Amino acid sequence: MNGDENMTIELLKESLKDFTLPKPEKKPKENYVNVLILRELKSAARFTTDGFEANSATIRIGNIEETVGKLFGRKQVASDRRKAKALQRTLISEEMNKVMGKDGWNGCTMKVNEMCQRCPECALFGSAASEESVSITSRVMYDEAYTIRALSAIVEEFFQNAPGDDYTKKPTSGIREPDFFKEGVLFPCVVTLKDVTVEEVLFFLNITDRNSRYGATGTRFGKTQNHILGVYASHREGPSSLEVTREIALKLAEKVKDEDVMDKDSKDEDVNKALDAKLKQVMYRDTLSVDEVKAIATAVYEELSEKQRIEYNTKFDEKAVSGILNELKDDSVVKSQLAQQIENIKEFVSA
Ligand SMILES: [Zn+2]
């Protein structure tokens, strides 16, 4: 479905009927709602595990190997979950108090083994078993996300010569400051919702739209904007984040002119070499155009899906999704969807 039609929540519910469930079930089925997201850094961010070094991975693209920046799946899920739980406390505390009875609802928590296991967030994202209950399997699947550009083009290392001195970029004998991912860095991400209700689709889209912090929790550096580029429903899971990132880089490389990377005497057999050189050129750029990457991301996602024999009878583009997100600007609308979801999960969380 494209954005020419006026997209509404009701229309979305109707179109997703064959790929969602009226209520969550314990036995898995094959219903997938794949969400294509481009996460864009709006300010410098820290994605690090040891507190200093930027998270990275070496990946193969075309014929070349390159080290790129990495955003762990578990960091994305932890951040989204914190956001979802905070939103629940804001909007549905009263409704949850009623569900829980005499002792009321404690607001749920991020602590493993202490999650309430009764709220819409626990039902969707899963929770480990506590003393008296069984664990709930997560129905949201994330994977590792990678930058399109090379690590050295997107990370800034700072060194402090002596306390009080200005920062320098040169590795001197000074004190190393934590690595920063520069503003403008892009992470193409695919997140998959499996066997969910339409209310859960709306919950996830709204959380993604609201969430703007994926960096180290201790520092809270780095603002992120999530662009939701498409929602694709199928009975099969879509391509991974890495596959999409790789194809984006290749497509950008194809657009680079031969003469920009090769001297004019080059022969036909240098075609592969030319593509390698173009890839390098793309991956070492100072900036990428967000609009260009958005369009390419959507195109390559759909191409990859076709190659993998994934049929999407139902899809929503960025403009259609933004119609939905606009409706969800009104907190009372979000609240009523969550209240409906509390009803949907009643048997699921008590079984
Ligand atoms: Zn909970």
> Which DSSP string corresponds to 54-92?
BPEEEEEETTEEEEEEEE-HHHHHHHHHHHHHHHHHHHS
Q: What is the pLDDT of residue 262?
A: 78
Q: Which two tokens stand for residue 3?
A: 């954005």
Q: Which two tokens stand for residue 223?
A: 């603002």
Q: How far is the CA of 93 from the centre of ligand 1 (A)?
A: 11
Closest-CA residue to 140 (of 287, 282, 34, 273): 34
Tokens 């569900």 correspond to what residue? 99
Q: How far is the CA of 125 from the centre of ligand 1 (A)?
A: 9
Q: How far is the CA of 106 from the centre of ligand 1 (A)?
A: 9
Q: Which two tokens stand for residue 82?
A: 């914190």
pLDDT band at 222 (very low <50, low <70, confident <90, very high): confident
pLDDT band at 18 (very low <50, low <70, confident <90, very high): very high
Beta-bridge partner residues of 121: none
Q: How far is the CA of 108 from the centre of ligand 1 (A)?
A: 5
Q: Is the distance from CB of 239 to CB of 41 less than 8 angstroms?
A: no
pLDDT digits (tens, 9 = 90+) for 125-167: 999 877 677 789 999 999 999 999 999 999 987 666 555 555 5
3-class secondary-structure state, position 187: strand
Q: Which two tokens stand for residue 183?
A: 């503003």
Closest-CA residue to 45 (of 207, 154, 152, 188): 154
- Model confidence at 217: pLDDT above 70: no
pLDDT band at 107 (very low <50, low <70, confident <90, very high): very high
Q: How far is the CA of 23 from the centre of ligand 1 (A)?
A: 17
Q: How far is the CA of 103 from the centre of ligand 1 (A)?
A: 15
Q: How far is the CA of 126 from the centre of ligand 1 (A)?
A: 9
Q: How far is the CA of 92 from the centre of ligand 1 (A)?
A: 12
Q: How far apart are CA 24 and CA 124, in angstroms?
A: 9
Percent of the chain with pLDDT over 70: 89
Q: What is the pLDDT of residue 175?
A: 72
Q: How far is the CA of 134 from the centre of ligand 1 (A)?
A: 13
When comparing pLDDT for 52 and 183, which is higher?
Answer: 183
- Model confidence at 6: pLDDT above 80: no
b/e sequence 133-158, b meaning 16+ C-beta within 10 Å: eeebebbbbbbbbbbbbbbebbbebe
Q: How far is the CA of 200 from the centre of ligand 1 (A)?
A: 14
Q: How far is the CA of 149 from the centre of ligand 1 (A)?
A: 38
Q: Is the distance from CB of 124 to CB of 338 less than 8 angstroms?
A: no
Instruction: Look at the alpha carbons of 18, 200, 238, 43 in this order and tell me if their dihedral is positive or negative.
Output: positive
Q: What is the pLDDT of residue 242?
A: 98
Phi, psi angle pair for 213, to nearest 5° = -130, 110
Q: How far is the CA of 3 from the centre of ligand 1 (A)?
A: 35
Q: How far is the CA of 248 from the centre of ligand 1 (A)?
A: 37
Q: How far is the CA of 309 from the centre of ligand 1 (A)?
A: 37
pLDDT digits (tens, 9 = 90+) for 250-273: 999 999 998 888 776 666 667 778
Q: How far apart are CA 126 and CA 348, in angstroms?
A: 12
pLDDT band at 96 (very low <50, low <70, confident <90, very high): very high
The reported pTM is 0.92
Q: From residue 319, how far is each of 32, 208, 228 by CA, in Å? A: 21, 16, 9
* Helix extents (H) in the chain: 9-15, 73-91, 93-100, 120-125, 151-154, 198-210, 241-254, 258-261, 271-283, 290-307, 318-327, 331-344, 346-350
Q: What is the pLDDT of residue 162?
A: 55
Closest-CA residue to 246 (of 146, 151, 155): 146
Q: How far apart are CA 117 and CA 105, in angstroms?
A: 11
Q: What is the pLDDT of residue 301?
A: 98
Q: How far is the CA of 328 from the centre of ligand 1 (A)?
A: 22
Tokens 């040169």 correspond to what residue? 170
Q: From residue 252, how far is each of 64, 265, 311 by CA, in Å? A: 15, 24, 26
